[in-house]
Amino acid sequence: MSVPETVVGALEPVNLDTTPRPGRILDPAAIERKLALNTYNVDASRAHIRIIDHDVCLHCVRQQCINCCPANCYAPADDGRVIFSYEGCVECGTCRIVCNEFRNVEWSYPRGGFGIQYRFG
């Protein structure tokens, strides 16, 4: 059995072992390339997700929707509110789950024919 290489001079040893294992992401950039293949048919007349009351976000200390959304659809506004843009949503439902304290996210699937179209995987 060989010993995996490590990066010399690193503060902590960095394992360069690239042996495929379940649950291991070997190339994070590969995920970005795969996600870039997806297409979106945006329903301009109906947002499938909305923030119910933007003022409620002022009372939310953690604002987990900003940090947890894998598509970065949520962003902080200068006044402390949260800005949401549904056009790049991957319809995972994470925002609905993490806004459990105030339940301030109204989430539904897009109408038929609209939303994300996964092209890989």
pLDDT of amino acid 10:
47
Domain limits, the chain: 28-117
Q: Cβ(107)–Cβ(48) under 8 Å?
A: yes
pLDDT of amino acid 51:
96
Q: Which of 63, 60, 95 is nearest to 76 (CA)?
A: 63
pTM comes to: 0.70
Q: Which residues of the chain have pLDDT under 50?
A: 1, 3-4, 6-7, 9-10
pLDDT of amino acid 32:
78
Q: How many residues in the chain? A: 121
**Is the CATH number of domain 28-117 3.30.70.20?**
yes
H or E stretch covering 3 = none
